[in-house]
Structure 1
Amino acid sequence: MLGVILCGGQSSRMGEDKGLILSNGRTWAQSAFDTLSNSGLRVVVSVNNAQLRAYQDIFSKEELVVDDERIPVYGPLRGLLTVHEKYGDDLLVLATDMPQVNGSIIRELQHAVTSNKQAYVFKHENDIEPLCAIYTSQALTTIRDLVARDQLKKHSLKYVLSLLDVHEIPIGKEQHKYFTNMNTPGDRNSR
């Protein structure tokens, strides 16, 4: 299994690249990388072309995977399919704008894995969390094939998950805080 930090978003609401925001002397991308690495995973950082130069100052060339713009999808799915094409492993994904996710959350996700599901996600109330999840290689191959046949109607990860056999891990009330996406300066200041 390969850990993937998704950094390829536009960060338009935040007004700056969320992966490069500093907290306690580390960027959010570095902190997410450490969280996955400390959970025993080899980790790569998914970025888009416009971000490459800034991230090369932080991560080694081997740790960076640049979105393949020839893949005709958008958003986090392009990053996942690019990493899948390069490595072919099951992917444990963590978005860079979820800085409160810690090692215990990642270990809970890892321990949920069985051999008969295509994806593993956390669920709170009626909503799933697609950006702290495991996507199996088999699931990503299925999605890639749908894309190749122009049969994937939507590119959102929630839609993709609706097409897969998913194991849902309930989030307890005390765990809600770990799954907060930081999308605006207000979100960041309310931490």
Structure 2
Amino acid sequence: MKQLKSIALALVVALGTMTASAQTTKKVDVAKSKLTWVGKKVTGQHDGTITLKEGALVFKGKKIAGGNFTVDMTTINSTDLEGKGKEKLDGHLKADDFFGVEKFPTSKLVFKTIGTKSNNTYAITADLTIKDITHPITFDLVVGKNVATAKLMIDRTKYDIKYGSKSFFESIGDKAINDEFELNVNLAY
């Protein structure tokens, strides 16, 4: 009888441990999520939006355990301009000397390592793929109830986007565009 109780207790403990360590994948609601970008240059800045195609956050209990996202690069949209200026900028951002969206219609982000900074803030190292070029990127992810936010600083020159970069064209003067652009992420899940 003691042996049966011991086996039963071991089974309960094992099942409890498996349940506690089980992972849950939560799909991101792409319609409610928002990605905004800011690109700066010597003479000012431009900002806009881009659409998330799909994404998911993986939880182990209440903690982040993973994530992967696909961005629809064909949706690059400037929001600070109108008319011909907007058409020109949007077209240029989609062209080969920037994101080349005809050949590279999506970009991807996959979490690789996750560190806990506080109860709901995580230090993320992820692989970011733009134009089929992958580099690691680090950022903080803040997780709330059914929402997660992050600010990524992306060096576009690592992804063969050199247009207007002072790092590659020293005599460009006031036409220089900053190598880094900012991507603000607000995920609903």
**What TM-score range do you get, normalising by the shorter chain?**
under 0.3
Q: Which has the higher strand share?
A: 2
Report the structure number with the largest CA radius of gyration. 2
Between 1 and 2, higher relative CO (CA 8 Å, sep ≥ 6) is seen in 1
TM-score norm. by structure 1 comes to: 0.27
TM-score norm. by structure 2 comes to: 0.28
